[in-house]
Structure 1
Amino acid sequence: MARLEYCAPRLSATGGLCPRRERIAKQLILANLGESLAIADLAQACALSRSHFSRAFKCSTGLSPQQWIRQQRLLRAKELITQSNLSLTQISLECGFCDQAHFCHIFTRSEGINPMAWRNRQVRHKPSVIAA
């Protein structure tokens, strides 16, 4: 039976990625957020095996590489929703989701509200600028 390990982020000096490797991985993810990025590619950039990289990344961040990527894609989507007039289809592709349906599913599961309703809520609560 496999033993599951949980590493709390930054509580232990052992088991995680060194700061340089963590920075490399995060920069690579953020630079390619709109594209598919294999964990094997991240591991190779850090000169680690795929399994060692995944385990160490989770120890360093508290999230698996896929969870961290998904979190960053959702943060980018929220930025685009509030700061642009792009359609949800355009936003989903810009943020690396395979299609709008998948994006809406992941967004709703994360936020408890669909992206269009979230956008409407943000617009409603946005302070209006009054010209002097």
Structure 2
Amino acid sequence: MVMLAVIVCIWATDPKELEEPDAPVGPPQPYSFSYTAGRYPGHVDRTHSETSDGTGTIRGMFAYVDPRYQVRTVEYVADAQGFHPVLSNPVADTPTVAAAKVRHADLYARIAAEHARIAAERGPEQRDDTHHLNY
């Protein structure tokens, strides 16, 4: 049996905005969506729903069945301060993952210290601020 999935997209943007990239963007609009999907007919192994009231705050939830056949659920809020997920049944780090996180943090600290040392040696007159990333 061959299965065919069709995705329909509706373009809700005014085509004139495509011609004018500097055109002002209007305020956020309310919306809501949800879907369920599965790997074969009659089987649901993932869901997603999301709503926005038009203020710029988005609330949603998605769930899926992980490789261990456990249902994982993530509820989230996305707002001006960022993306805030809340996980159900978080998976504990294995010893290998925990050790890798420690190594990563150590390497990050060493790289940051080396970059700070180089910047201090150059002094403010030699710095090229056009390539700095602001996080």
TM-score relative to the length of structure 2: 0.26
Structure holding more helix per residue: 1
Of structures 1 and 2, the larger Rg is shown by 2
Structure holding more strand per residue: 2
